[in-house]
């Protein structure tokens, strides 16, 4: 029995020794082969020069050169509507007429009195030439004529105020009254807007004032027309600044022949400056910002020739335009930089380029889901 136990213990010792020997050989093999980090997949871009024209960007709104909501000066009952909602009208076109039956009857009586007063004044003038009537009688006849004329003019003015015409040419909005409705003074009737040309109102901070002059080119873009840019001229600069925001209000004029721009629309405004500057640009996604400075990852050949590696390079960036940013120092024309995937890199990390899935940067990006 003791012999069997000794044999079993010997077998176990042999097995454990064999396993330990195998593990030692495996560890030696692992330590003999150095570990190599697999390359990270990144996208790249090339630093290249461009000519950028300086500009100021702002947001603003479109306003009509002439725009008004028509309202009556005096109350009345609508007897005639001579327009359709959305119609284009010319200056002086009849739009709405209120009931003027009472005023027209009063005007007939006033005209009759005016005619009698006119005849009386003419007779008094003739009789005065031969002193048949006194000067006071002539003056009384003249005053009666003038009073009768004023009474007729006052009644005609009331009739005119109850006849509403287009004060200028433009496009009408949606009608807000109905035939036979009693309309109080000041109640909206319809909106009338002149759409050719239109204004673009916007503001810029006071530090830009020294570079602003009327006649500069202004470009307008908006969400309603994603692939279209409208161009006009800066026509007015407000003489005073807003005391709360320290900004100056500006106004540009655009022709708008197709009536695409409507009053009240939100607009992105770019005021183009005359000077053009040559800059070195890279995609903004290539910039790695940190408290100690901005940097990029240059793509270079590794020292052992095994592939490409990413080398961190500190840069000084300037202004941005769309998806691009200008680099003032730290790069030169033709440098390859990592434009996507840089957050997973470290200095001298191996990389492999794949630009198939990276979105193409643009100076005027228009995302499809915006």
Nearest of 128, 283, 265 to residue 198 by alpha carbon = 265
Name the range with the highest mean pLDDT among 130-139, 185-194, 271-280, 335-344. 185-194
| Res. 235 pLDDT band, cuts 50 70 90 | very high
- Report which DSSP code applies to 356: S
Residues 126 and 122: their CA atoms lie apart, in Å, by 6
Residue 34: pLDDT band with limits 50, 70, 90: low
125-139 b/e (C-beta count within 10 Å ≥ 16 → b): eeebeeeebeeeebe
- What's 40-51+278-353's CATH class? mainly beta
Tokens for 15?
A: 């097995």
Distance separating the N- and C-terminal Cα atoms of the chain: 86
C-alpha closest to that of 198 among 249, 268, 264, 270: 264
DSSP summary character for residue 360: P
Average pLDDT in the 120-141 region? 78
Q: What percent of the chain has pLDDT over 90?
A: 44
Percent of the chain with pLDDT over 70: 91
**Which option is the CATH number for 56-65+195-277: 2.70.70.10, 3.60.9.10, 3.30.1050.10, 2.40.30.170?**
2.40.30.170
The three-state (H, E, C) secondary structure of 160-199, written as one string? HHCEEECCCCEEECCCCCCCCCEECCCCCCEEEEEEEEEE
Start-end ranges of CATH 2.40.30.170 in the chain?
56-65+195-277
Q: Which CATH number fits domain 75-98+164-188: 2.40.50.100, 2.40.30.60, 3.40.1160.10, 1.10.10.10?
A: 2.40.50.100
The CATH number of the structural domain formed by 100-161 is 1.10.287.470
pLDDT higher than threshold 60 for residue 370: no
């Amino acid at each position: 029995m003791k012999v069997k136990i000794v044999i079993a213990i010997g077998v176990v010792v042999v097995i454990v020794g064999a396993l330990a020997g195998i593990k030692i050989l495996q560890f030696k093999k692992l330590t003999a082969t150095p570990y190599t980090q697999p390359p990270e997949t990144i996208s790249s871009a090339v630093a290249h020069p461009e000519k950028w024209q300086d500009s100021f960007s702002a947001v603003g709104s479109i306003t009509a050169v002439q725009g008004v909501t028509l309202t009556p000066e005096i109350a009345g009952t609508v007897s005639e509507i001579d327009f359709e909602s959305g119609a284009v009208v010319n200056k002086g076109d009849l739009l709405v007429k209120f009931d003027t039956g009472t005023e027209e009857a009063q005007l007939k009586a006033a005209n009759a009195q005016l005619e009698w007063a006119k005849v009386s004044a003419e007779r008094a003038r003739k009789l005065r030439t031969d002193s048949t009537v006194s000067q006071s009688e002539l003056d009384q006849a003249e005053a009666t004529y003038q009073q009768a004329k004023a009474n007729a003019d006052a009644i005609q003015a009331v009739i005119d105020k109850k006849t509403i015409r287009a004060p200028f040419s433009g496009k009408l909005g949606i009608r807000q009254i109905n035939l036979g409705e009693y309309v109080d003074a000041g109640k909206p009737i319809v909106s009338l807007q002149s759409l050719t040309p239109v204004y673009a109102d916007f503001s810029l901070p006071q530090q830009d004032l020294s570079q602003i002059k009327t006649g500069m080119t202004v470009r307008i873009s908006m969400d309603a027309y994603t692939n279209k840019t409208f161009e006009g001229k800066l026509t007015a600069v407000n003489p005073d600044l807003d005391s709360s925001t320290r900004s100056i209000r500006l106004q540009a004029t655009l022709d708008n022949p197709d009536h695409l721009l409507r009053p009240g629309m939100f607009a992105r405004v770019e005021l183009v400056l005359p000077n053009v500057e040559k800059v070195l640009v890279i995609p903004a996604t290539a910039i790695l910002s940190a408290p100690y400075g901005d940097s990029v990852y240059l793509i270079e050949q590794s020292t052992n020739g095994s592939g490409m590696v990413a080398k961190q390079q500190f840069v000084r960036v300037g202004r941005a335009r769309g998806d691009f940013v200008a680099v003032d120092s730290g790069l030169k024309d033709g440098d390859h930089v990592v434009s996507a995937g840089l957050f997973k890199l470290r200095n001298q990390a191996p990389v492999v380029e794949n630009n198939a899935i990276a979105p193409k940067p643009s100076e005027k990006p228009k995302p499809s889901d915006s």
